[in-house]
Amino acid sequence: TQLLEQSPQFLSIQEGENLTVYCNSSSVFSSLQWYRQEPGEGPVLLVTVVTGGEVKKLKRLTFQFGDARKDSSLHITAAQPGDTGLYLCAGGNDYKLSFGAGTTVTVRA
């Protein structure tokens, strides 16, 4: 059972379109991280957010941490085929991260 629920589970869009992935939980986390994982590889950290209401922008990616520190979203503007991958959110408390099941994003050229 995943402590964090991600939606949608799968997302397929055309190059140039925008997309948003959601990560929700009933638990409060001290930090929230987003990772991207490609087949046969480990997850790669994209961003860490620690303050409720925090918004971070990294080029075409925008990350938001909910005010109550229970949920987060990842928005990609003008998606490119290189954005294809499994996006994982993870909530941090003490020594461990609790991961969602992931959203598989496919960007078609």
Partner 1 sequence: ETGVTQSPTHLIKTRGQQVTLRCSSQSGHNTVSWYQQALGQGPQFIFQYYREEENGRGNFPPRFSGLQFPNYSSELNVNALELDDSALYLCASSRGPVAGENGGELFFGEGSRLTVL
- Residues contributing to the site for partner 1 (CB under 8 A): 2, 4, 29-33, 35, 40-45, 48, 50, 88, 90-102
| Distance set, CA 6 to CA 16, 82, 101, 109 (Å) | 23, 21, 7, 25
Alpha helices (H) in the chain, listed in sequence order? none
Q: State the nearest-atom distance from the C-beta of 37 to partner 1, in Å.
A: 8
Q: State the nearest-atom distance from the C-beta of 43 to partner 1, in Å.
A: 5
User: Are the CB atoms for 43 and 60 separated by under 8 Å?
Assistant: no
Residue 18's SS3 state is coil
Q: State the nearest-atom distance from the C-beta of 16 to partner 1, in Å.
A: 29
Nearer to partner 1, 40 or 82 (CB): 40
Nearer to partner 1, 79 or 99 (CB): 99
